[in-house]
Amino acid sequence: MMRGMPPWMFELDQTSGTTKQTQIREYFVKSILSRSMMPGDALPSTRQLSDHLSVSRNTVILAYQALTDSGYIEPLSRSGFVVSHDAPVSPLHEQQDSFKAQDQVSWEKKFIHTPQPLHIVSKPLNWREYSYPFTYGQADLHLFSHSEWRDCARQALGVRDFGITAGDFGFNDDPLLVDYICSHSLPRRGIRVKPEQILVTMGAQNALFLLAQLLVDETRQVVIEDPFYPDLRELLKKRTSRIHRLAVDEEGIVIDDDVIAKSDIVIVTPSHQCPTTATMSRSRRQHLLDLARKHDVLIIEDDYEFEMNFLQTPSPALKSLDESGHVIYVGSFSKSLFPGLRLGYLVASETLITEARALRHLMLRHPPGHTQRTAAYFMALGHYDAQIRRLRRHFETRRQILKSALDEEPLLEETGSHFGGTSFWVKGPDWLDTRKLAEHAEREGVLIEAGDTFFGEPDPPRNFLRLAYSSIGDDQIRPGFARLAKCVEALRP
């Protein structure tokens, strides 16, 4: 802002994706909170500001009304608007110079464990700005039912429900959401349990964290798949060093009877192995269950993406075959709706759920009530099923396009799931370093995931990558893959 220029002489950002009314509100809120405008300062008239910003006067009137309703400004009789005298301005001492570095603590001596870097998949926040985002786990907003979700959110904020969603759930979960999980989601996977055996979590990650805290320490041996979900592997490493990896082939985890017999917990993704997308065969499922029952071994089943079955009938969940209670089931709505939802659930015996509920209470009490009730309405009103059908239809088309492109590229070999899913696990030639490929491709507007992060050994194979088609449009796949293929050729020795 130029010296002497009135504080309201700002401009709107036409590319922000935010409405003009919202931008006006945000500007004045920021100005008031930062004390650029003080209590009693006059705002421009609605006509002045509408002329300056080249917007309708009604847009400014609505923005001013919202600021008045929230207590930031107040009208003066025939004198326009001024900053409210009880507006929530920041204290005077919170100026920019108060943020000078004052950290003189030797934090490396304070941590109870030596800080270690996390070997996880990194996703750029601005992934939508890339021309060809083969990015896993992100939502294509064109395929989501925004209006239906908004209607459900409004309903959850209505007078009838607000008293519930605004309150403290304590040890409880939204009964409507639990009822849907119990009567619809789980029976589709062949699982029938009581509501007392279900705990709503902040996504599957939160469920797995709770289980690690309750069941894993340095005395416990944990068996995981290799390659495997890196976030969970890093979590387990903070609880125990006794982690045994079993390889994965086209039938899922390769079971070693001796290793399973000596373990305490086995963690698997049987319906859709992460990241290879392989499905565990029925014979291996039964063999694993028999070993678990015989040696009293717990099995944690992460059943993510089970809704994305569009090529063949989905196999039953491991939990549905469990007759001894050794299987702990983890589900999520974040993959099928949108990742920012952070809503999942844990299914196990009442004894374990009671302990997990108590630990959740100490950590975060409960997932937000409004989020739970909105999701419950979205499902109960049939929007969720319609969303899944829409995703399956579009993902099947995208899968066919990407598979066709992969089949024509001799240097890249895909191992895509036979039932569907949202990605391909791709193997390149031995000389290919997909870390370098990812860096080179990113400069060309193509986002991929290097596969070495999914392996647990110190010197993992470097020639694997994951290509997802959930967040890239149909017409972007072939040109994006062609550009990726050129990047591979550029790295050829």
In order of start, what are the domains of the chain with their CATH numbers?
1-93 (1.10.10.10), 127-137+386-490 (3.90.1150.10), 146-381 (3.40.640.10)
pLDDT of residue 118: 80
Residue 309: C-alpha distances to residues 19, 286, 316, 393, 469 (Å)? 38, 22, 12, 10, 15
Q: Give the number of other CB atoms < 10 A from CB of residue 258.
A: 7
* Residue corresponding to tokens 């070495």: 452
Do residues 465 and 437 lie in contact, with contact meaning Cβ atoms separated by under 8 Å?
Answer: yes
Grouped pLDDT means (10 residues each) for the chain, 493 residues:
55 84 91 85 90 92 91 84 82 53 79 80 84 90 88 89 83 93 93 96 94 96 95 92 94 95 96 90 95 97 82 82 95 87 94 96 91 93 91 92 93 77 93 95 94 90 94 94 95 92
Task: Provide the sign of the torsion angle of the four alpha carbons 79, 81, 84, 90, taken in this order.
Answer: negative
- Please report the pLDDT score of residue 294 as a whole number: 97
- The answer to whether the bond into 230 is cis (omega within 30° of 0) is no
Tokens 């499922």 found at: 285
CB 375, CB 333: distance < 8 Å: yes
Give the pLDDT confidence score for residue 338 in this predicted structure: 87
Q: What is the spatial order of strands in the sheet that 265-268 belongs to?
A: 198-201, 344-347, 327-332, 298-302, 265-268, 222-226, 243-249, 252-253
Q: What is the pLDDT of residue 96?
A: 53
Tokens of residue 346, six digits: 């844990």
**Angle, alpha carbons 166-169-171 (nearest 5°):** 170
Residue-level pLDDT at 262 = 96
Residue 203 confidence (pLDDT): 92
How far is it, in rounded angstroms, from Cα 301 to Cα 325?
12
pLDDT confidence of residue 109: 85
CA 368 to chain centre: 16
